[in-house]
Amino acid sequence: PERTSASTPKQRRRWLAGVLIGGPGWVLPGVVKMLGGTLLAYVALNHGVLAEQAVDPNQMYLVAYQYVFPTVGWAVAATAIFVVISQLKINVTNAYAGSLAWSNFFARLTHSHPGRVVWVVFNTLIALMLMELDLFQALGRVLGLYSNVAVAWMMTVVADLVINKPLGLSPPGIEFRRAYLYDINPVGVGAMAIASLLSVAAYVGLFGPALQPFATFIALGAALVSSPLIAWLTQGRYYIARRAEPATARAQTCCICGKDYEGEDMARCPAYQDHICSLCCSLDARCHDLCKPQARISDQWAGLLQRIFPATAQPYMDAGLGHYLLLMTGVVPFLGLLIGLLYYQEVLALTGPDAALLSHLRDAFLRAGAALLLVSGIVAWWLVLTHKSRQVAQEESNRQTRLLMQEIESHRRTDELLQKAKHTADQANQAKSRYISAISHELRTPLNSILGYAQILEGDGAIPDNRRQAVSVIRRGGEHLLSLIEGTLDIARIESGKLAMDMKPLAFPEFLGQIVGMFELQARNKGIEFHYQPVGELPALVRADERRLRQILINIIGNAVKFTSRGEVRFRLRYQREMATFEIEDTGPGIPADEMEQIFEPFARGSAAHVGATGGTGLGLTTATTT
């Protein structure tokens, strides 16, 4: 009322039209239609139609259309068209409405949703079967029984709203999301079952003919009394299975189907760690109601069996017997109700039944019921075994999934440790490079002084020959030490990515002549042959880093001469298409296959290192290959 009073007249008219057409006001057009049907029946009776036929739509509309059309033929055609269209509309509407019930029921039971069209076709086939079996004649009596169940259900809902909630026997709000509800609430199910049984028993005459007309009122009163009583006995703890999160006004996206729904239709799913819609929650069969494990019907049934049976019988109940008893508890009453309903309809259809015929009919129905019970028991046991097999398969799948997740987590932790170790190694390598650079700089300063003074002393003519040789040894030793320092510094530069080339014009033949002259003398002193084999015409000038190229050739050729005890060393040079290829071949001991992978590592020396006359640091090949 506050909202409508503050709105415009146009908005108030729209709101009133919505209430009258889309809300409770829909009863008013229904009353008008019922009055119209009553008028048509009255007109049919005035035209001599029998009372049994006056309620037939064909007779009513035929009489009515005779007032509209001048000939009977037009009235019959209009009646046929109208009745056919009306029946199509009614049956399609009923088929669709029934499909909603079938879809909701089997979605909860089987966690499957094949689509509404499937259930519409299924409902239509049931209607055709009932029509072919000529069971519509008993439809009135069936609806009479169903009306008692419907009254029991509606009054159970009313009792919960007008009695239980004001008294605090049930939660104040209305929760319909499956993720927050128990599968079975004893308040609603129990009150409806008690009211339905009492009213149906009164309707079929089990309480005598005096109470038979009051079956509906018995359903009404039983529901109003039993609902608050059961709620008080259970203390209302079977309404909400877990605390619901406050619903948001904005739409949320379902993590399963990816569609947007209102916040009131979404629930937080702990299995998927996100929000899920009601339909996807009903269809999911893998999480086993992780959000409310105590609210599943199997757990509720197991709790009931634990209260009824002793502890020694619990293992048998958990092994499948409990599930079988639960299933048969629902199947047996349903079969009994179905057989009893058919028997009741057959008894009512008989005219003047005698005791012998009733006894024969009762025996036939008992035998049919026993056969159906036997078949149902076998099918129920098969269903239980199938469920157990599927449950075992699902548990194994979950176990494998857990193991896989554990392995993934182990790999993740291992990767983290490797990354930490790599980071630590990089830091240590950088510290080593900085230390090598610092110590090389500190060594080069005094070493350059030693080499400078050695060169001055070597050129001094006043120094005796025996002392000049000692000065020469000092100079050569200093130069060798300087080359070692330069090699170590190159390794540090390469690892830090700061090695730069000094590209300048180089007199190529003279440069190679110096290298060859150096090692020819060294090889001759060792008693081995040294062959220099250039191929092609060498250019007079090339652009290269003279110091780096000299360092590479000296390291590789020096190793060949150093580790060759007898035989020869061949130095081949092939220059083609502005590309120079150097090949060094020797008759030394070679490199074992198991050492090939580490020969280029810094400070690593092979097992043949003892062959050479001088030692080394193991940096030659490293510097040569990385440069």
Q: Which residues face 572 on adjacent strands?
A: 533, 583
Rounded CA-CA distance 543/342 in Å is 109
Q: Please indicate whether residue 487 or residue 427 has the higher confidence score (pLDDT).
A: 427
| Residues above pLDDT 90, as percent of the chain | 4
Query: How does the average pLDDT of the chain come out, rounded?
Result: 78
Q: DSSP label at 233?
A: H
pLDDT in tens, 187-224: 888 899 999 889 988 887 888 888 888 888 898 899 99
Rounded CA-CA distance 562/414 in Å is 45
Rounded CA-CA distance 251/239 in Å is 26
pLDDT at 225: 92
Q: Please indicate whether residue 419 or residue 287 has the higher confidence score (pLDDT).
A: 419
Is pLDDT of 343 > 50?
Answer: yes
Q: Which of 294, 298, 265, 292 is nearest to 279 (CA)?
A: 265
pLDDT at 226: 92
Rounded CA-CA distance 380/387 in Å is 10
pLDDT in tens, 308-339: 777 776 666 666 777 777 778 878 888 887 78
pLDDT in tens, 584-618: 999 988 777 777 776 666 555 655 555 444 455 55
Is pLDDT of 520 > 50?
Answer: yes
Is pLDDT of 142 > 70?
Answer: no
Single pTM value for the model: 0.51
Q: Give the pLDDT band (50/70/90) at residue 350.
A: low
Question: Of the ranges 82-96, 431-445, 602-616, which is most confident?
Answer: 82-96
Rounded CA-CA distance 513/412 in Å is 58
Say which residues have a Cβ less than 8 Å from residue 235's Cβ, sequence separation at least 6.
none
pLDDT at 89: 78
Q: Please indicate whether residue 532 or residue 178 has the higher confidence score (pLDDT).
A: 532
pLDDT at 458: 74
pLDDT in tens, 43-80: 888 888 787 777 777 788 888 888 888 888 888 888 88
Say which residues have a Cβ less than 8 Å from residue 538's Cβ, sequence separation at least 6.
508, 509, 512, 573, 575
Rounded CA-CA distance 431/495 in Å is 11
Q: Give the pLDDT band (50/70/90) at residue 14.
A: low
Bridge-based pairing state of the strands 266-269 and 504-507: unpaired
| Rg of the chain in Å (alpha carbons) | 50
Is pLDDT of 361 > 60?
Answer: yes
pLDDT at 194: 92
CA angle centred on 618, ends 614 and 621, rounded to 5°: 110
Q: Taking a C-beta distance cutoff of 8 angstroms, is the pair 191, 258 a contact?
A: no
Q: Which two tokens stand for residue 295?
A: 């609210």
Q: Is 494 exposed, middle or buried (0-12, 13-18, 19+ CB in 10 A)?
A: middle
Rounded CA-CA distance 257/263 in Å is 15
Q: Which two tokens stand for residue 292?
A: 């409310």
Q: Please indicate whether residue 246 or residue 180 has the higher confidence score (pLDDT).
A: 180
* Angular region, 354: left φ>0, alpha ψ -120 to 50, beta rest: beta
